[in-house]
Amino acid sequence: DTAVSQTPKYLVTQMGNDKSIKCEQNLGHDTMYWYKQDSKKFLKIMFSYNNKELIINETVPNRFSPKSPDKAHLNLHINSLELGDSAVYFCASSPLRVSTDTQYFGPGTRLTVL
């Protein structure tokens, strides 16, 4: 009965490779997000999708491309990986934002670029 799941949990790869991280939520939420957490634990939003439409696209390199095939999935594809991409990436989802904005985070994917 996992709410927000991500695969893989760990990803080790070489510079220059292309990789994808998958995210799925079974909460019926309309909005999904990708966050990057660096080595200092700083959480920074990368993308937000609402009903499969891109809402937020922070200043991330265009090597990062989110793809939302349906409301329950938001995948992150990264081209030409660089050393600085090493971080933990979190997917999150939230319901309709009326009086609250509880975001439910996945367990994270630790990406290591060698």
Give the binding site for other proteins (CB under 8 A). Answer: 4, 31, 33, 40-45, 48, 50, 55-56, 90, 92, 94, 97-108
User: At which residue do the structure tokens 């809402």 appear?
Assistant: 55
| Among 51, 6, 4, CA closest to 31 | 51
Closer residue to other proteins, CB minimum distance, 73 or 105: 105
CB of 67 to other proteins, least distance (A): 18
CB of 33 to other proteins, least distance (A): 8
Q: Could you give the CA distance from residue 44 to residue 67 in angstroms, rounded to a whole number?
A: 19
CB of 3 to other proteins, least distance (A): 10
Closer residue to other proteins, CB minimum distance, 28 or 80: 28
64 with 76: CB under 8 angstroms? yes
Structure-token pair, residue 94:
């939230």
